[in-house]
Chain A
Amino acid sequence: MSSVLEQRILPGSDVAGLRLWLPVMLGLAVMYVPTYVDLAHGLWQNEAHAHGPIILAAVAWLVWRERAALVGAPTRSATLAGSAALALGLALYIIGRSQRVALFEVGSHIPVFAGTVLLFLGWRALARLWFPLVFLSFLVPLPGFVVESITGPLKNIVSQVVELVLYGLDYPIARTGVMLSIGQYQLLVADACSGLNSIYSLAALGLLYLRLAASGNFLRAAFLLASIIPIALAANIVRVLVLILVTFHLGDEAGQSFLHGFAGMTLFAAALLLLLGFDALLRRVPALRGAGAST
């Protein structure tokens, strides 16, 4: 983090540099502010994409952090590549926004931003900004076929583990596919219990954390990245386990109120804490400590 602290307020000559950006900023705002308003009313209310505003804020901050290096550095604009990327991005935006294809509309962020950077600052600046640009892809809604092909298998794993655990604890449990029967109750493991929602959000925040806290230490980053899916799965298995036990011991009504009280954010926070805890453990391993603390 030290590099942030060392940056001074921009010298006067760079204010002119920032002014150069004003029309572009305005253009971007005219394009994307309505998109964000729509997203806030739609996609971002969905548990799987609730991290959207955080992504945007993080990207803005990451770019802002680099402002001195970007504005001050000598630039060689890449006009051809920049125009091409911008044209592609604008075409995607026009199709997506007018025909309500969120995948295109939101996806257009990446070529539009990349094209603008290339046009004004060139390849070196683009290389500096690779992380925020890649990170923007978490803003894009997961395509339906991805959701469908992942949700089913994850639900199966969750149901099987839950059955195994409760069977081991001598509960009267039986399973048909993703339908669990315990005592007189039948519970269906819903799509939300697959953990896909939390995996997507957790992967986004985990990556951001990695970039800020663990960049420079490849091994530690790899360990953390690999732990995201098991952690999200484990959190969801615990969620289903607790739900079933509450239902079995306290009745259907208690189970339902638990479901609505404890779902979503609490679970997500717990998973995030698990991830941070895991990282704290990793940092105790001497081989993984390395360059971890610096940015």
Chain B
Amino acid sequence: MKYFGRKSLLVGAIMVLAAGAALALKPSRAQQDAAVFDLEKSISRSFGDWIVDPSVIPIPPTPDIQANLEKIYAQIVSRTYINTRGERMMLTVAYGGDQSDALKAHRQEVCYAAQGFEIRDVVHQNMRLGDKTIPVTRLFAVRGLRSEPVTYWFTMGDRVVLGRLERLMVQLEFGFSGRIPDGMLVRVSNISSDPARAFKGHEEFISALLEGMRQGDVHRLLGS
């Protein structure tokens, strides 16, 4: 004992204990097996008045963006729907099996800005969907002649989260109970220069989408 000094041994031992504690507290259980559901199937290609627009050929993102997306999301569905009045809606749903990395937050206002859009009026609002109220983020993205109102939200674990801090809290809460939270990003947008009307349209579109959905899939999109 004398050789090293008692305090030194004590502090060293505490540090080793801390390293051990960190190892023991690592969550190991994925919240759900990503393979048990197929996003492509759980989101129908036609519902209510809406059907996938056959005239729109999806343009894949550039390879570097694609690689980045694949790193973050396990499944992505990106479609353009059209209704009988000829109105179009763009829907993107992305699922990530492991959202525990705090850097993975994908705020859409940042995404759009990075694509050269000018972002106007980012607001947080509550959207009523059936018997649920979920906090969504709305923004109006403009690039040249293209103006695109966007409504989006994301889930972390079993609930919809708005900001980074909220994500971190859910991550820690899940993590210390041994689970790895997953996450879902849902984004609806259309080309319109009238944001107020467009946002109402988004709400009706999502309501129609959810109506035809199985309960389990609804929980995945909205949190349970």
Contact = CB atoms under 8 A, between A and B. Distances in A.
A26 B14 CA distance: 11
A20 B22 contact: no
A94 B25 contact: yes
B183 to A, nearest CB: 14
Interface centre among A20, A23, A26, A116 (most CB of B within 10 A): A23
B102 A177 contact: no
B67 interface: no
A98 to B, nearest CB: 4
B22 A144 contact: no
A20 B100 contact: no
Contact of A177 (B27, B100, B110, B116): B116
For chain A, give the interface size range. Answer: 35 or more
Contact of B118 (A20, A99, A177): A177
Contacts, number: 109
A30 interface: yes
B143 A179 contact: yes
Contact of B175 (A21, A99, A141, A145): A99
Contact of B100 (A23, A93, A94, A100): A100
A28 interface: yes
Interface centre among B11, B21, B107, B115 (most CB of A within 10 A): B11
Given A98-B23, A98-B25, A98-B26, A26 B12 contact: yes
B8 A30 contact: no
Contacts of A34: 19
Contacts of B47: none
A120 interface: yes
B15 A102 contact: no
B12 A93 contact: no
A122 B24 CA distance: 33
A252 interface: no
B107 A148 contact: yes
Contact of A22 (B4, B19, B115): B4
Contacts of B19: 27, 30-31, 34, 97
B41 interface: no
22 contacts: A19-B4, A20-B8, A23-B9, A27-B11, A27-B15, A27-B19, A28-B15, A30-B19, A31-B15, A86-B14, A90-B15, A93-B22, A94-B22, A98-B21, A98-B25, A98-B26, A100-B102, A101-B171, A116-B11, A119-B11, A177-B143, A188-B115
Interface of A: 19-28, 30-31, 34, 86, 90, 93-95, 97-103, 112, 116, 119-120, 141, 144-145, 148, 152, 176-179, 188, 190-191
